[in-house]
C-alpha cells in the first residue's frame, strides 16, 4: 500500500449496512436460504453476514447488494449528507425534512476513528 494511504480497515460491516441488507431481503420476502441460493452461498453464510460474525469479501458484498437491487457507490464525504437525504426521501417521501443526524456512511462508534473532512 502506498505510504500516503492510511489503513483504516474495518473489523466488520457497519451496523447500518447490515440492517439495510436484512431489510432489503425481508422486503422481497426472501429467506436467508433464498438469498443465498441467488448468490451461490449457503444459508449459514448469509446468517453469519447478517449477524456480523462473517465479513464478506468485496465481490460477495457486491453480489448481495446487486441481487437485492442496490449498488455500492464511492461518494465524496462532503456529499454524504446529501446522498443520505435523497435516500431517506426516496424511502419515505411523506416524512418531511426532519433532521436525523447525518453520519458518515462508514461511521464507527470509536471516537478516535472519527475525522473531520
Neighbouring residues of 83: CB distance < 8 A, sequence distance ≥ 6:
73, 75
For residues 52 and 13, the answer to whether their CB atoms sit within 8 Å is yes
Same domain for 85 and 56: no
CATH number at residue 30: 1.10.260.40
C-alpha separations of 78 from 24, 60, 82, 102, 111 in Å: 26, 28, 8, 11, 19
CA nearest neighbour of 40 among 13, 19, 12, 59: 59
> In the chain, where do the E strands start and end?
none
Same domain assignment for residues 43 and 25: yes
- pTM tops 0.75: no
Confirm whether 48 is domain-assigned.
yes
Give how many domains the chain has, as a whole number.
2
Supply φ then ψ for residue 20, to 5 degrees.
Answer: -70, -40
What does the pLDDT look like over 63-105, one tens digit per residue? 999 999 999 889 999 999 999 899 888 877 775 544 555 555 5
| Pair (21, 62) in one structural domain | yes
Predicted confidence band of residue 30 (pLDDT cuts 50, 70, 90): very high
Note down the domain range covering 42: 15-67
Amino acid at each position: 500500500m502506498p505510504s500516503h494511504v492510511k489503513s483504516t480497515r474495518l473489523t466488520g460491516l457497519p451496523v447500518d449496512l447490515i440492517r439495510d441488507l436484512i431489510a432489503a431481503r425481508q422486503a422481497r420476502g426472501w429467506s436467508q436460504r433464498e438469498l443465498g441460493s441467488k448468490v451461490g452461498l449457503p444459508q449459514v453464510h448469509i446468517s453469519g453476514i447478517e449477524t456480523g460474525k462473517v465479513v464478506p469479501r468485496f465481490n460477495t458484498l457486491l453480489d448481495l447488494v446487486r441481487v437485492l437491487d442496490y449498488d455500492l457507490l464511492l461518494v465524496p464525504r462532503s456529499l454524504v449528507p446529501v446522498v443520505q437525504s435523497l435516500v431517506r426521501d426516496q424511502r419515505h417521501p411523506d416524512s418531511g425534512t426532519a433532521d436525523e443526524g447525518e453520519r458518515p456512511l462508514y461511521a464507527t462508534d470509536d471516537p478516535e476513528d472519527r475525522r473531520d473532512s
